[in-house]
Structure 1
């Protein structure tokens, strides 16, 4: 779903100056939308000239240069940045749950079988830290 926001323009705004004003007013929203997809493009529709629009690469918004570039067109392979993205994938969530279970098994089943208390503590510390870290990385899948 495309993102949208409202911008108030003054009376002196013309069809030629409206897109740069929209880009400047929405800089934070555009930068947030572009953060995950710097290769994407932003399409800004001109409210004063129906059918007119400007395409701007996200890389320019992230660099702070908000110039409308209507002569540059996005590649056929580029995707719109307004698509909803799922923050956790089912695979990543399942991996994280598996890693939590593995940590619990290591600390409550395997580590108590250590030969002395010092080895049991090391087992608990290392397995908890290692498996917990891997569980966090599962969230990025």
Structure 2
């Protein structure tokens, strides 16, 4: 999944009204929070899978570059003129790899933070329900 798609989903999950005026509202909100908690767990699994795929693809490309140069594609005069050296290719690959990993790690951090916020949001709702039920 693309990074911008993750941000859209995170925005949808984070957008929730936590104001409750009755026990029924509190229960409805708690049910909605629980659903969003499940969605967050699924998103986190997908992000972890995407990170692993990025790592796998990076290693595959790095191996291909190393094999190409070891297999006869030499960094001779023509390659140097065109700017195609093994070191340049490896550095460019590493830079792209680091950029994409950073984006996904940022998403993972946001998901963890949102998960903690959801956990904290449950407590006041549960306390409200308990206080209202004890009052009867």
TM range (shorter): 0.3 to 0.5
Q: TM-score, normalised by structure 1?
A: 0.36
Q: Which has the higher contact order (CA 8 A, sep 6+)?
A: 2
> Normalization by structure 2: what TM-score?
0.37
- Higher fraction of helix: 2
More strand by share: 1
